[in-house]
Structure 1
Amino acid sequence: MTIFVAGMHGVGKTFLAKPASERLGLLHATASQLIRKERGAASWDANKRVDGIDENQRALVAAVSRIQATGRTLLLDGHFVLRGGDGEPVLLAPEVFRDLACVGVVLLEASVEQIALRLQARGDESWAFQQIARFIAEESKHAERVCSHLNIRYRKIESPTPRCFDETVATLMK
């Protein structure tokens, strides 16, 4: 079983998901970690512009399938919308989330200003406020569409506390 934690870069996916996985007894991984391990290299730059999106998603599905074969519940953090090589949003196909066997999705959101500060703290100043706002909106719209289409349980939360996040994940696991 996979619970997918989605949201814009810098929204706090790993910050919340990694300790939550320990508290809830789940396995945590980021999509980028699994893709990098499966492919033997990264296909994105420091500004999160991605090439080889289809190959990455196939690698991710293969890695997650092996994890699922162990019977562990995976708390996977990643995106519904990627930043293409040209900097524009690229919507991932719904089949990716079907193939990841997602039973629940937690979409995290935060203010444009908060995300901009976090990205700058990471050394990524390539995002304009308007672009961040666009990606937040695209991520939300696409997550809702995919979850509705695939009948995946879906919760959107803004700047949650660790306790709120844990409770949301636990609810989606039931």
Structure 2
Amino acid sequence: MRKVIAAINMTLDGFCDHTAVNPDDEIHEHYTELLSKGGVALYGRTTYQLMEYWKPFVQKPMGNKAMDDFAVVMDKIEKVVFSHTLKSVDWESARLATRSLEEEVLALKQQPGKDILVGSPGLIIQLMNLQLIDECQLCVHPVIAGGGLPLFKNISDRTTLTLLKTKTFGSGAVLLYYEPVK
């Protein structure tokens, strides 16, 4: 059965704001590797539209190997987008979800293939509340944002996690690998 892996960047004070952190080449290389090991990435509308930033760099690379490699793997991975407002997606490797989040994830978990990655704060929380997350990879950057979107604001029940391992980046960011206790 495929694992559901929640992977997200956040600030030291727990906010998910892509403008507050500045991933370097080493972090881009890490996420390139993660995406290449994944079979499908789940996104909400907002995060999907943020990720569309990478689309043009497949055809016209920016000249930074780490970022160009990330753009290529981002382009290739299947993307399932959960949105009540989007009527279509124009990325060839993306499709709109036609079922509920729970139904879609349960169906994907039953299929053979690589892991299911989740990179949107709202979807991560919904899946945690449904107890469908198998692993959390929280990349905590050495930045205090002082405000923004808190990752864990809508958790419905106490959730205990077991630390599996850590990875420290040269920038001072720390990747925490956790497994929810079921």
Report the TM-score, using the length of structure 2 for normalisation: 0.42
Which protein has the bigger strand share? 2
Which has the greater radius of gyration? Answer: 2
Report the TM-score, using the length of structure 1 for normalisation: 0.44
